Amino acid sequence: MEITVSDLYDFKACPLRFKFMKIDKVCKEITSNDGVRESLQSVINYYYFYLKQGQQLPLSSLKEKFSSIWSGNLDLYDIYTGDKRNQRKKELEAIGMLNNFYMKQKYEPDLVIASNLDFRIPFGDNFFIKGNIPVIRETSAGIEIVVHKMGKHKYDEFWQKTDMGLTLMAMAYESMFKKEIDNIIVHSLHSGSVHYIHRKKEDYKRLTKTVRMVKESIEKKWLYPRETYACEKCPAKNLCMEWR
């Protein structure tokens, strides 16, 4: 079996939603928050792709790219945006984050070693997690993985220590380059804060144990609803109400 990093987060957010969206595929829309994150990440990948070739794209190109993804011209994501007002609100939030991203890059663009680097990590027999490292850059402090967060929640010490995505990237880097990454830098595009994070082998244990439990739950079909306030924005809400 193979799942993506996003599947892992989806499963932990709500196993039943994971079933509807990833196993049964009866609901293909993603939430507006996920839509903003995926759309902005695509734009950031686009920026770094050109930067690695020696070309720094202007902010106007990034905004244009975002609009074509968000308004559906590129048909990349099926985003559940709710009404027009909410769609516009999310769009403005995203443009604000894009500005924050660009202001950090404008005068000191990253020295990119790799971008959008795919990985596939085995966990025991026949179970893999697929994902990608958005950017690896070189700085005077060493080689760094750079991650941009689009969520509004405070990226406090707890999240920094337990962020599964970062641990998977550190494991993938170590497996590919046969050494630990020097730093992981997390930019929160909402608040503008920057966090320097380290991962050691000790941190891999928690992740490995979590993945083993998720694997077992999927195999045993423990796909139960996890009702929270996030249900308000769940695209599978109607199906969920009928679940018995």
For the CB of residue 188, give the shortest distance to ligand SF4 in the complex, in Å.
Answer: 24
Per CB under 6 A, the segment of 90-98, 202-210, 212-220, 234-242 that binds ligand SF4 is 234-242
Residue 82 sits in the site that holds ligand SF4 (CB under 6 A) = no
Residue 234 sits in the site that holds ligand SF4 (CB under 6 A) = yes
Per CB under 6 A, the segment of 1-9, 53-61, 199-207, 235-243 that binds ligand SF4 is 235-243
Task: Please say which residue, 19 or 187, places its beta carbon nearer to ligand SF4.
Answer: 19
**Ranges within 109-138 binding ligand SF4 (CB under 6 A):** none
Q: What is the DSSP string of 205-243?
A: HHHHHHHHHHHHHHHTT-------GGGGG-TTHHHHHT-
Residue 78 sits in the site that holds ligand SF4 (CB under 6 A) = no
Report the DSSP pairing between strands 30-31 and 79-80.
Answer: parallel
x/- binding map, residues 3-22, to ligand SF4, per CB under 6 A? -----------x-xx-----
Cα separation values, 233 from 32, 35, 79, 140, 212, Å: 8, 12, 11, 43, 29
**Residues whose CB falls within 8 Å of the CB of residue 102, separated by 6 or more in sequence, listed in order:** 59, 62
For the CB of residue 80, give the shortest distance to ligand SF4 in the complex, in Å.
Answer: 11
Q: Report the C-alpha gap between 74 and 190 in whole angstroms.
A: 25
Q: Report the C-alpha gap between 220 and 212 in whole angstroms.
A: 12
Residue 236 sits in the site that holds ligand SF4 (CB under 6 A) = yes
Chain positions contacting ligand SF4, by CB under 6 A: 14, 16-17, 225-227, 230-231, 234, 236-237, 240
